[in-house]
């Protein structure tokens, strides 16, 4: 183990920092330093445009030791030989040097940083494992509360009062903890869920993906959870709502190894019997092709308390986000939902649906079976021009919609995103286009305009 480092947070605003190098690594440091308000001078024979754009001064020539005479910090982002020259010049001037991807030359190291307002958390591996520092930074980012900046404001305000009242330093920390806890001790709003008792399993619907479309009770259960067993397609941002939980992916994907249903049920029962608050997090709604009924029966048979927290089923949400109502006066008086992964199951249902039906047909998990489904319906007398649509990743940044006809459905060209959940919609309503011009509340691009056959 190397000698321990002394962590410091340094004010560089308005101070001279010299960056030696003009390539990709220099670009990263120049951007970081410029954001901190430093006056950056770049020295290198060749300098990229993005490096020059972030610098206050650029010298397109080889490094000279005198370049560091007015510097507060040096950054070596060049070749190993040049980095050693910079380090020797910095040492002679008692100046710290950060050598990018060259830890032996450096006397100062950057860190993986998480910021919430004026709260800054940084982690370093002494330059030995920057990729690990990045992973740890991501873990901290997931664990730290989103409103940490308000904690800083609260602590600052309390500190002023303590100083005036001459409150001893040793007693301030428990007082601050009590004050921070009071931020969350407000009376629950109408309809808010009661705290989850220990040893309870919550079968929670995650909706179509966007965390903003979760129910309030679902968000509450995730915040309190100690164990979360989640489906493969659950959005990573939803898991961030469970900062205290151990999260395990147990979802099933076609053609891939997965945890068996019986094993999932044993995990739920075992964790609950240990007194854990457990969430079984399912895409859409737990009871719509989510095997929630099987898990509920297993929990009941084991004598384990459980609850069901409904979610917005993708059977309704995906078409809606693409501007397709599954019912519409004069076009569709109802809708039927089937799963498209097993023709032995859905085949007899399609055979009983007449070609003149006023129902909208919604198929979940049926992207790979769309040709067989369309062919089967056409063989039963359905019109080739029946409107049809495909919606992929309905509430995700990669959302995509295709609209065409039943005949065209068989060979619809789709983007190469096999991980995106897909929904088929067949019926007159698929021809409607009722989307708003306003993007959704998740701050990503709205659903891609429908591609027509």
| Residues annotated catalytic, as ranges | 231, 252
**The token pair that represents 75 in the structure block:** 């950054």
DSSP string spanning 391-402? EESTTSTT-EEE
Within 13 Å and on the Cβ side, how many CA atoms surround 381? 7
Please state, in angstroms and rounded to a whole number, the distance separating the CA atoms of residues 207 and 63. 57
d(CA 268, CA 228): 9
Closest CA to 98 of 123, 78, 115: 78
- Structure letter (DSSP) for residue 169: G
Calculated CA dihedral for residues 85, 72, 32, 144, nearest 10 degrees: 120
Going from the C-alpha of 37 to that of each of 13, 40, 114, 342, the distances in angstroms are: 4, 9, 18, 60
Output b/e per residue, 162-185; b: 16+ Cβ within 10 A: eeeeeeeeeeeeeebeeeeeeeee
């Amino acid at each position: 183990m190397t000698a321990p480092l002394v962590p410091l947070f340094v004010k560089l605003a308005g101070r001279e920092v010299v960056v030696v190098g003009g390539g990709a690594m220099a670009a990263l440091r120049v951007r970081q330093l410029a954001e901190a308000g430093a006056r950056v001078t770049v020295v290198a024979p060749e300098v990229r445009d993005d490096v020059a754009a972030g610098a206050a001064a650029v010298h397109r020539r080889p490094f000279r030791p005198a370049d560091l005479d007015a510097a507060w910090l040096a950054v070596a982002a060049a070749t190993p030989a040049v980095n050693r020259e910079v380090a020797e010049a910095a040492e002679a001037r008692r100046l710290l040097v950060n050598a990018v991807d060259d830890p032996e030359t450096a006397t100062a190291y950057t860190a993986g940083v998480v910021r919430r307002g004026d709260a800054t958390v940084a982690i370093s591996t002494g330059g030995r494992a920057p990729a690990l520092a990045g992973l740890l930074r991501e873990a901290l980012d997931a664990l730290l509360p989103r409103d940490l900046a308000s904690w800083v404001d609260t602590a600052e305000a309390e500190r002023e009062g303590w100083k005036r009242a001459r409150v001893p330093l040793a007693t301030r920390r428990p007082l601050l903890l009590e004050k921070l806890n009071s931020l969350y001790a407000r009376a629950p709003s109408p309809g808010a869920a009661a705290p989850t008792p220990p040893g309870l399993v919550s079968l929670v619907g995650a909706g179509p993906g966007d965390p903003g479309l979760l129910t309030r009770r679902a968000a509450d259960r995730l915040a309190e959870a100690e164990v979360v067993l989640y489906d493969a397609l659950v959005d990573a941002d939803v898991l961030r709502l469970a900062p205290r939980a151990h999260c395990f992916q147990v979802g099933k994907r076609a053609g891939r190894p997965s945890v068996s249903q019986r094993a999932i049920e044993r995990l739920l029962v075992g964790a609950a019997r240990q007194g854990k608050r457990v969430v079984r997090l399912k895409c859409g709604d737990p009871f719509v092709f989510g095997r929630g009924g099987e898990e509920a029966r297993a929990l009941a048979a084991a004598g384990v308390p459980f609850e069901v927290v409904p979610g917005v089923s993708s059977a309704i949400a995906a078409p809606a986000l693409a501007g397709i109502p599954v019912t519409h006066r004069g076009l569709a008086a109802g809708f039927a939902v089937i799963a498209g992964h097993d023709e032995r199951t859905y085949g007899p249902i399609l055979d009983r649906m007449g070609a003149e039906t006023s129902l909208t047909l919604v198929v979940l998990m049926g992207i790979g079976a769309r040709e067989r489904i369309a062919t089967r319906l056409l063989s039963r007398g359905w019109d080739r021009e029946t409107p049809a649509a495909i919606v992929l990743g309905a509430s995700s940044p990669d959302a995509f919609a295709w609209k065409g006809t039943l005949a065209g459905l068989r060979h619809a060209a789709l983007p190469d995103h096999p991980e995106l959940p897909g929904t088929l919609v067949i019926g007159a309503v698929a021809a409607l286009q009722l989307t708003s011009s306003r993007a959704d509340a998740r701050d990503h691009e709205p659903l891609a305009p429908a591609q027509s056959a």
